[in-house]
């Protein structure tokens, strides 16, 4: 009989390891196998593998801090305090033998499976982006609300517009790059990566390296901490110095000096060059950029290519360039909206289940949730994916051609009524409507009637 366990205490120094040792000794006396992962102040050690978890009868979490349980979806999980594991580890293991799988753990199984597919640098980047997005959304909406009083109303000190701009631009947006860099480093090196990552991200903002510099700082910080953790060996009596002094100080110095003296200037120059290029784009070139972004948004409907386009636009938004963000959001809304419209104008092309899914796709589309198109694409990828890509590409191109700008990175149509959140709002709606109609018409033309499809299947079976 095999068990796996995680121990974690608030400080991550003494009780984390005492609980682990108690569980290991108790398991040995009870003739059962156990592997204990410690989540201490230097990060996770003796990390549980997928095979360890698959072979385990149950999972024991002895912690007084929050421990993610996504890895254990579908497994019985027993949660106890650290002190309970230290004082009576045998009793804890006995309880684990009869632990049951909860409904919530079953529901989380699909989510954990999807996350497990993300690996390497892409996973680390997306971790940083996922933590950054709430700051960008909150800041963007605060800025948009400030603009509602007039584009330059925030320049008057003491006004509500100025306060909203301070919240959005001066605080939430100022934290965007440090959070991005910090959590990229966190994904690579666990908690010790946060300090050098955020320090590097802060420096990136100060020297003008911006979003791109933050990404570089995050990766440098993460891999630097990972290297230091593996190569610095201290006596047991000095282990407590690693998380509070040695790792944060050395890694912050390495990352900070690298950003200031090596990486900062070239990345800052690249940033300025990109900003100048985007600002000076002619209408034709802007339309081509919008077309490419639109195609990317529809290609995998929330996958890596879609996320790359969205991340690109968010990064530019932090630099005050808002046109690509408008193109990306419009193009991301178009696929589910086009499919929803197709289920209305060409009902004979869709099953009853698809028509029902079309009703939900309206809500998902207006909310800027491109994933609403996935059920249709999965059922008929050859016809659906080219159709939604054409529609989104046209929407993105028109949005850029109409010089629409968007100050908010998410929210769909629900943020559009905010005064000055979108420039050229009327034409922006036109770009979404045109792309939606093109998508619906293409799908209606390319898809065969259900009766025709059934006849062909019948002929194949007969033959």
d(CA 315, CA 257): 23
Q: With b meaning 16 or more CB within 10 Å and e meaning fewer, what string describes 115-138?
A: eeeeeeeeebbbbbbebbbebbbb
Angle at 462 between CA 459 and CA 463, to 5 degrees: 85
CB atoms within 10 A of CB 379: 14
Q: What is the DSSP letter of 303?
A: S
Nearest alpha carbon to residue 4 among 69, 66, 64, 65: 69
Token digits of residue 166: 């301070």
d(CA 426, CA 365): 18
d(CA 149, CA 161): 6
Sequence-distant (≥ 6) Cβ neighbours of residue 271 within 8 angstroms: 208, 209, 210, 211, 212, 213, 319
How many residues are present in the chain?
463
Q: Which residues are catalytic?
A: 9
């Amino acid at each position: 009989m095999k068990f796996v366990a995680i121990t974690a205490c608030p400080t991550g120094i003494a009780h984390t390891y005492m609980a682990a040792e108690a569980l290991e000794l108790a398991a040995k006396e009870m003739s059962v196998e156990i592997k204990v992962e410690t989540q201490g102040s230097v990060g996770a050690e003796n990390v549980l593998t997928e095979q360890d978890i698959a072979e385990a009868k149950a999972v024991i979490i002895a912690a007084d801090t929050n421990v993610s349980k996504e890895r254990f979806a579908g497994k019985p999980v027993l949660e106890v305090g650290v002190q309970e594991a230290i004082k009576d580890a045998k009793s804890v293991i006995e309880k684990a033998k009869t632990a049951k799988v909860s409904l919530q753990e079953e529901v989380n199984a699909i989510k954990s499976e999807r996350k497990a597919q993300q690996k390497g640098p892409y996973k680390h980047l997306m971790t940083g982006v996922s933590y950054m997005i709430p700051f960008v959304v909150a800041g963007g909406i605060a800025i948009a609300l400030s603009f509602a009083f007039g584009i330059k109303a925030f320049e008057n000190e003491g006004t509500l517009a100025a306060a909203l701009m301070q919240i959005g631009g001066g605080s939430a947006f100022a934290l965007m790059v440090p959070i991005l860099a910090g959590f990229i480093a966190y994904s690579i090196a666990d908690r010790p990566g946060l300090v050098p990552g955020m320090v590097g991200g802060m420096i990136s903002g100060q020297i003008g390296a911006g979003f791109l510099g933050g990404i570089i700082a995050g990766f440098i910080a993460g891999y630097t901490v990972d290297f230091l953790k593996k190569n610095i060996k201290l006596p047991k009596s000095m282990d407590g110095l690693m998380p509070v002094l040695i790792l944060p100080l050395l890694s912050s110095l390495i990352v900070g000096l690298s950003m200031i003296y090596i990486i900062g200037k070239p990345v800052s120059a690249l940033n300025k060059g990109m900003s100048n290029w985007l600002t000076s784009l002619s209408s034709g070139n802007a339309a081509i950029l919008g077309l490419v972004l639109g195609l990317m948004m529809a290609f995998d409907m929330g996958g890596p290519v879609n996320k790359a386009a969205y991340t690109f636009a968010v990064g530019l938004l932090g630099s005050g360039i808002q046109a690509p963000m408008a193109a990306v959001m419009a193009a991301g809304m178009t696929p589910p909206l086009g499919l929803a419209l197709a289920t209305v104008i060409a009902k004979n092309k869709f099953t009853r289940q698809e028509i029902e899914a079309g009703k939900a796709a309206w809500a998902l589309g207006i909310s800027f949730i491109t994933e609403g198109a996935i059920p249709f694409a999965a059922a008929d990828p050859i016809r659906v994916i080219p159709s939604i890509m054409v529609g989104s590409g046209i929407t993105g191109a028109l949005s850029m051609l109409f010089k629409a700008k968007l100050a908010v990175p998410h929210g769909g149509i629900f943020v559009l009524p905010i005064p000055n959140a979108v420039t050229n709002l009327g034409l922006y709606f036109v770009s979404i409507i045109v792309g939606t109609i093109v998508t619906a018409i293409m799908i209606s033309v390319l898809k065969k009637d259900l009766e025709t499809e059934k006849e062909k299947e019948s002929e194949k079976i007969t033959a």
